[in-house]
């Protein structure tokens, strides 16, 4: 599989993503960084709601739900889990 960045919003449920960059701005950016959404950390896609918005992620043993609008601005590469 090619090693190209994908937005978290496009990652499959069960996949693990190594974060590369966060393009979220403002107060939400600070909050996400505080929760562990920093480059190099692994994020697991836990669950997508039936319509695909919001999406639940696990980072540093914390579950957080993000809207597609937000998760589409966070990029990383597959490192494990169900990447298809």
Residue with tokens 């090619």: 2
The architecture (CATH level 2) of 6-81 comes to Roll (2.30)
- pLDDT per residue as tens digits for the range 34-54: 999 999 999 999 999 888 789
Strand order in the sheet with 62-66: 6-7, 74-81, 15-22, 42-48, 55-59, 62-66
- pLDDT per residue as tens digits for the range 7-25: 999 999 999 999 999 999 9
Q: Could you tell me which residues are beta bridge partners of residue 19?
A: 76
Other residues' Cβ atoms within 10 Å of the Cβ of residue 14: 14
User: Over pLDDT 70: what percentage of the chain?
Assistant: 92
Q: Where are the domains of the chain?
A: 6-81
- pLDDT per residue as tens digits for the range 56-68: 999 999 999 999 9
pLDDT at position 3, please?
55
Residue 2 pLDDT > 50, yes or no?
no
Whole-number mean pLDDT of the chain? 90
Element holding 68 (H helix, E strand) = helix 68-71
């Amino acid at each position: 599989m090619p090693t190209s960045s994908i937005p978290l919003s496009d990652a499959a449920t069960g996949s693990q993503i190594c974060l590369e960059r966060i393009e979220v701005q403002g107060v939400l950016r600070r909050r996400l960084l505080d929760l562990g959404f920093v480059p190099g950390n692994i994020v697991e896609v836990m669950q997508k709601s039936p319509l695909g918005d919001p999406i639940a992620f696990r980072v540093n043993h914390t579950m957080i739900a993000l809207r597609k609008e937000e998760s589409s601005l966070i990029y990383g590469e597959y490192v494990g889990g169900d990447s298809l």
